[in-house]
Amino acid sequence: MFNMVVFGPPGCGKGTQAARIVENHGFLHVSTGDILRRQIASGNAMGELLEKFTSRGLLVPDQIILKEIWRFALRHQYEKGIIFDGFPRNLYQAQMLDRIFYKKEMRINLVVSIDVDEDELIRRVLERGKTSGRTDDNAEVMHNRLLVYVGQTRPVIDYYRRKKRLVEISGNRPVDEVAASIDLAIVHKMQA
Ligand code: ADP
């Protein structure tokens, strides 16, 4: 099994690139943001609670996310591979992912970090906001999401760098070029 994380700030293109990897390699894609948005759309009490966090650009509590990830990983442990998108988003989540995977003799083989200039991130998210219907794709909430990214999420890069699983690529390029770089990293890691 080959498991990977597509990592980066809001608007860096994680979802777009994950879809490309699915096409090329047949891995499963799990986006914690999509899971949360589905729960919110269902309109139950849990959804209402989650919306209080996502609409402000804050991380939802770790235990809620970890339960979803654990459930997903167990259900799909015999697949070819999983692409995690939007997770892990802080050091605790990264450590817990390694711990729960270890128990199942699974591991994260590769973390691809996509770096994009802040001006470009804001431009993309505001553009997406015109059609996405997402309550967090506006200037004010994006500002918070970037603060959360820098304060809580970006430190995860060092965690994976130390574990020698990190590949950093520039996302300030056309989608196809970014996809080609990611593909190279995957093939390289698979052969290692
Ligand atoms: P983006 O990467 O563009 O910010 P996502 O769809 O990945 O968008 O996430 C949207 C929101 O969902 C986040 O701002 C956060 O509130 C919540 N969220 C997603 N993944 C996680 C996670 N792993 N831990 C905590 N909250 C999360």
What is the radius of gyration, based on Cα positions, of the chain?
16
Q: Which residues of 179-189 are buried (b: 16+ CB within 10 A; e: fewer)?
A: bebbeebbeeb
Residue nearest to atom 4 of ligand 1 (CA): 10
Q: Could you identify the atom of ligand 1 that is nearest to the CA of residue 89?
A: 23
pLDDT, one tens digit for every residue, the chain (192 residues): 999 999 999 999 999 999 999 999 999 999 999 999 999 999 999 999 999 999 999 999 999 999 999 999 999 999 999 999 999 999 999 999 999 999 889 999 999 999 999 999 999 999 999 999 999 999 999 999 999 999 999 999 999 999 999 999 999 999 999 999 999 999 999 998
Q: 112, 130, 131: which is closest to 189 by C-alpha?
A: 112
Please report, for residues 11, 171, 183, the alpha-carbon distance to residue 177 in angstroms, rounded to integers and kept in the order given: 17, 9, 10
Pocket test for ligand 1, best of 31, 54, 138 (most atoms within 8 A of CB): 54
pTM for this prediction:
0.96
Strand 108-115 relative to strand 166-170, pairing: parallel
Quote the tokens at residue 130.
């015109």
Q: Could you identify the atom of ligand 1 that is nearest to the CA of residue 125?
A: 3
Between CA 113 and CA 17 the distance in angstroms is 11
Between CA 64 and CA 167 the distance in angstroms is 28
pLDDT at 192 (0 to 100): 84
Q: Which helix (H) or strand (E) is 169 found in, with range?
A: strand 166-170
